Amino acid sequence: MSQISNLKELFSSMVFNERVMKERLPKETYKSLKKTISEGSFLDLETANVIANVMKDWALEKGATHFTHWFQPMTGITAEKHDSFISPVGDGSVIMEFSGKELIKGEPDASSFPSGGLRATFEARGYTAWDPTSYAFLKENTLFIPTAFCSYGGEALDKKTPLLRSMEALNNQALRILKLFGTPAKRIYATIGSEQEYFLISEEHYKQRKDLILTGRTLFGAKPPKGQELEDHYFGTLKQNVLEYMHDLDRELWKLGISAKTEHNEVAPSQHELAPVFSTANIAVDQNQLTMDMMRKVAKKHKLVCLLHEKPFAGINGSGKHNNWSISTDSGENLLDPGKNPENNTRFLLFLAAIIKAVNEYQDLLRVSAASAANDHRLGANEAPPAIISVYLGSELTNVLESIESSNGYASKEEEKMKSNVSYIPEFIKDTTDRNRTSPFAFTGNKFEFRMLGSSQSISGPNFVLNTIVAEELRQFADVLEGKDDIVKASLEIIKDTVKNNKQIIFNGNNYSDEWTKEAKKRGLLNLKNTVEAVPYFIKKKNIDLFINHGILTEKEVLSRHEILLEGYWKVINIEALTVVDIAKKAIIPAVYSYLSDITESTLRRQKLSIDVSNDITVISKLSALKDTLQAAVAKLDKALAKAKDIENIEEKAHFYSATVIDAMSAVRNVADELETQVATSYWPFPTYSEILFPV
């Protein structure tokens, strides 16, 4: 009992949330802050002063000494700049101060964050601006204030700003539709629950792998004798140290108001997943960043390392992030809940049609939103959805839409009971559709699950794209519907048209099959295999227009993000390639030399005793030849890197890395991995896949 009440107390104990605000803020202040949060109204400096003061007192009581504006630059991770509350007064003593101005505005130097040419280094000024819709929280004796980050000229330099703008756009357009249907709603929100995959490995192993330390993934490693073929890890019993880690992590997350709920083993050995209960989009994005941060920190305490990279181990499943997305009204009504009879739920079908049309017309943007050098290892590699975007609806909804399209009536399915044929196991009603785990964008009962996201990426990008493209379709629908007398009839016409023109995006089969790739091509769907193929679509005119029309990004901001994407891409591969060269030259080749030298020595000694050493000579020659091949491959990679350096044009550069440099890296790895299987374990310079993935 006491533990339960402790947990209740623990939850959100480090968050300056609704409850704390209500308790501590003067009534008027609370009211105007609440209005700002729920309706987006302006908040004046006087009110901010009061809030800052109350926030500071709350933080000091909990032991805080510092505060920081917390922001999300285009690096994809978060940034912070700590200031103490201390303010000296004339007599040599100090007081603790925190003003409204400090709460609402910060001025970090912006010159060292990616800006994609938006800002020359001499224009260093950048601003962080308080986002009152995401709660401030306490971590490591510091008050964290969620903020948006922009340049002196007002251009967004972060991941939060476009997300907030997209929520606004979605709100505006969805409310137009809801009004037509007579749904009472003041505001609508995108809701998100993101399932986070990760690997846990021992710190001891990690420390010995320069590739993991520098790049987050292993750049070498032969296939272990055992992989994931027995499928014995998925949902398997949790190991004691993993269990302790998960429980510890849950507690830390709960303190921060993050409702971590589900934890289980994933398909690959040493791979796990954490899912929180969903929340509104901006909070979900902030909380996912915090979750990733906490996952790493808590692991350290347990002498483990949490790997969030999309593909830490070749040949073993990588990690993604399932982005569950829906739309909800301020009273919590889920607009993607079909209800018992979807065929009669016109409002739901209209929203569904908007999403189908959005995904079809903006496949390219969704694809770009999940593109990165790291995620290129997963998408289309038979462990994650393919790079082709399609929508899974399940048979029931597909039938409903088809019957509208063909104007035939729809006969709804009877509820089916699940029977186990064991008398004492209770019966329950089956879901109307089975699950499909292969679709990149699947309807899962009352939400869509976008499954292309990489495990390490900020979920902001995919969600601001989703919000915006759906806002655009709702706008088009509202333009037609407003002024019509019979909204249901007019909606059905729109739905019919939409299905007719967009049904090529609907696919309920196996997305991993080769047939689907062929079929998708026939349907004219895009198949953008990697980042360099996908990124150019970001700056297509239709996409720039979309962002401008909904006030999400200006043309300048789109172009800057395009540049940041390409730059991020080649820089990641460059670091990986340099690390490959470094490890090969300084660790692997020396290890091979030393092994070769020892066996050669012993062979020569035995030869002196007239023992037959022909077999040994074969082994030595083979190893020698492999070593030569490795050295040649390293030289080739070195050369490719030198060439890459001279390429000025950023698109050309990214292409060169995606083809030539990646190929040269693979060539080095292939020989090195072959050598790993030939050289005695005691000589090998770092832990192998078996040791890392199957710790004793």
277 binds ligand ADP (CB under 6 A): yes
Nearest approach, Cβ of residue 444 and Mg ion (Å): 7
Residue 502 near residue 625 (C-beta atoms within 8 A): no
Q: How many chain residues are in contact with ligand ADP, going by CB under 6 A?
A: 15
Whole-angstrom distance, CA of residue 468 vs CA of residue 476: 13
- Token couple for 10: 């623990």
Query: Minimum distance between the CB of residue 279 and ligand ADP, rounded to whole angstroms?
Result: 8
- Assess 257 for contact with ligand ADP (CB under 6 A): no
Q: Which does 208 bind (CB under 5 to 8 A by kind): ligand ADP, Mg ion, none?
A: none
Identify what 58 binds: ligand ADP, Mg ion, none; CB under 5 to 8 Å per kind: none
Nearer to Mg ion, 435 or 643 (CB): 435
Q: How far apart are CA 380 and CA 387, in angstroms?
A: 5
d(CA 433, CA 445) in angstroms, rounded, equals 8
| Distance between first and last Cα of the chain | 37
Interaction of residue 275 with ligand ADP, rule CB under 6 A: yes
Q: What share of the chain is helix, strand, coil (3-state, %, to 5)?
A: 50, 15, 35
Judged by CB under 6 A, the residue of 108, 132, 146, 193 near ligand ADP is: 193
Distance separating alpha carbons of residues 389 and 452, to the nearest angstrom: 9
Which does residue 257 touch among ligand ADP, Mg ion, none (CB within 5 to 8 A, set by kind)?
none
Among 36, 208, 280, 334, binds ligand ADP (CB under 6 A): 334
CB of 195 to Mg ion, least distance (A): 5
Q: Report the residue from 128, 191, 196, 456 that binds ligand ADP according to the rule CB under 6 A.
A: 191
Give the one residue of 276, 312, 380, 385 binding ligand ADP; rule: CB under 6 A: 276
Q: How far apart are CA 132 and CA 123, in angstroms?
A: 28
> Least Å distance between CB 250 and ligand ADP?
14
For ligand ADP, which stretch binds (CB under 6 A), given 220-228, 324-332, 530-538, 543-551?
324-332
| Strand, coil or helix: 580 | helix
The interface partner of residue 326, options being Mg ion, ligand ADP, none and the CB cut-off 5 to 8 Å by kind, is ligand ADP
Buried residues in 624-639 as b, exposed as e (16+ CB within 10 A): eebbebbbebbeebbe
Tell me the C-alpha distance between 121 and 377, whole Å.
34
Note the Cα 604 to chain centre separation in Å: 57
Of the pair 126, 193, the CB lying nearest ligand ADP is at 193
Q: Which of residues 70-109 bind ligand ADP (CB under 6 A)?
A: none
Minimum CB separation of residue 417 from ligand ADP in Å reads: 21
Is the Cβ of residue 275 or residue 349 nearer to ligand ADP in the bound state? 275
Half-sphere exposure of 54 (CA within 13 A, CB side): 20
Please name which of 353, 360, 365 lies closest in space to residue 546, comparing C-alpha atoms: 365
Q: How many residues does the chain have?
A: 696
Least CB distance to ligand ADP at residue 193 (A): 2
Options 40-48, 274-282, 405-413, 451-459: segment touching ligand ADP (CB under 6 A): 274-282
Residue 275 binds: one of ligand ADP, Mg ion, none (C-beta under 5 to 8 A by kind): ligand ADP
In this chain, which of 78, 282, 317, 324 binds ligand ADP, going by CB under 6 A? 324
Which is closer to ligand ADP, CB of 149 or CB of 325?
325
Q: What single string gives the DSSP state of each residue in 245-302?
A: HHHHHHHHHHHTT--EEEEEE-SSTTEEEEEEPPEEHHHHHHHHHHHHHHHHHHHHHT
Q: Is 434 in the site for ligand ADP (CB under 6 A)?
A: no
Bridge partners of 87, per DSSP, are 95
278 near ligand ADP, judged by CB under 6 A: yes
The residue written with tokens 């049609």 in the block is 353
**Taking the complex as a whole, how short is the minimal distance between the CB of residue 324 and ligand ADP, in angstroms?**
3
CB of 466 to Mg ion, least distance (A): 16
**Position among 14, 74, 188, 192 found at the interface with ligand ADP (CB under 6 A):** 192
Least distance to ligand ADP from the beta carbon of 310, Å? Answer: 19
Does residue 447 bind ligand ADP (CB under 6 A)? yes
Looking at the Cβ atoms of 216 and 276, the one nearer to ligand ADP is 276
Based on its alpha-carbon atoms, the radius of gyration of the chain, rounded to whole angstroms, reads 28
Q: Candidates 180-188, 192-200, 464-472, 650-658: pick the segment binding ligand ADP (CB under 6 A).
A: 192-200
Q: Tell me the residue nearest to Mg ion as measured from the CB.
A: 322
Q: Which residue has the tokens 């992590």?
A: 249
Decide if residue 326 touches ligand ADP (CB under 6 A): yes
Judged by beta carbon, residue 132 or residue 193, the one nearer Mg ion is 193
Task: Report long-range pairs for 125-130 (Cβ below 8 Å, ≥24 apart).
Answer: 125/151, 125/152, 126/150, 126/151, 126/152, 126/157, 127/151, 127/152, 128/69, 128/71, 129/104, 129/105, 130/48, 130/69, 130/103, 130/104, 130/105
Q: Following DSSP, what letter does each residue of 135-160 receive, concatenated? A: -EEEETTEEEEEEEEEETT--B-BSH
**What, of Mg ion, ligand ADP, none, does residue 75 touch, CB below 5 to 8 Å by kind?**
none
Q: What is the dihedral of CA 660, 663, 668, 670, to 10 degrees?
A: -170
Please enumerate in sequence order all residues whose Cβ is within 8 A of that of 141, keeping only pairs 6 or more positions apart, or say none. Answer: 63, 64, 65, 66
CB of 171 to ligand ADP, least distance (A): 16
**What residues line the site for Mg ion (CB under 5 A)?**
322
Distance of closest approach, residue 393 Cβ to ligand ADP, in angstroms? 16
Structure letter (DSSP) for residue 7? H
By CB under 6 A, which span of 323-331, 403-411, 464-472, 613-621 interacts with ligand ADP? 323-331
Select 125 or 261, whichever has its Cβ closest to ligand ADP: 261
Q: How far is the CB of 517 from ligand ADP (least distance, A)?
A: 25
Strand partners, 611: none
Which residues lie below 8 Å from residue 678, measured CB to CB, with a gap of 6+?
A: 619, 622, 623, 626
Q: Which residues contact 58 (CB under 8 A, 6 or more apart)?
A: 16, 20, 24
What mask of x and - would describe binding to ligand ADP in positions 615 to 654, judged by CB under 6 A?
A: ----------------------------------------
Report the partner that residue 192 touches, choosing among Mg ion, ligand ADP, none (CB closer than 5 to 8 A by kind): ligand ADP
Site for ligand ADP contains 446 (CB under 6 A): yes
Residue nearest to ligand ADP according to CB distances in the complex? 193
Cβ nearer to Mg ion, comparing 302 with 322: 322
**Interface segment toward ligand ADP; rule CB under 6 A; list 111-119, 311-319, 320-328, 516-524:** 320-328
Of 30 and 325, CB closest to ligand ADP: 325
The answer to whether the CB of 258 falls within 8 A of the CB of 276 is yes
Residue 644 dihedral angles phi and psi, to the nearest 5°: -60, -35
Question: Considering the complex, what minimum distance in angstroms separates the CB of residue 136 from Mg ion?
Answer: 30
Q: Which is nearer to ligand ADP, 74 or 174 (CB)?
A: 174
Q: Give least dist CB 135 to ligand ADP, A.
A: 18
Q: Determine, following the binding rule CB under 6 A, whether residue 280 of this chain makes contact with ligand ADP.
A: no
The sign of the dihedral angle between the CA atoms of 130, 134, 136, 139 is negative
Residues 6+ apart with CB under 8 A from 662: 573
**Cβ–Cβ contacts within 10 Å for residue 74, how many?**
23
Which positions lie near ligand ADP, rule CB under 6 A?
A: 191-193, 195, 275-278, 322, 324-326, 334, 446-447
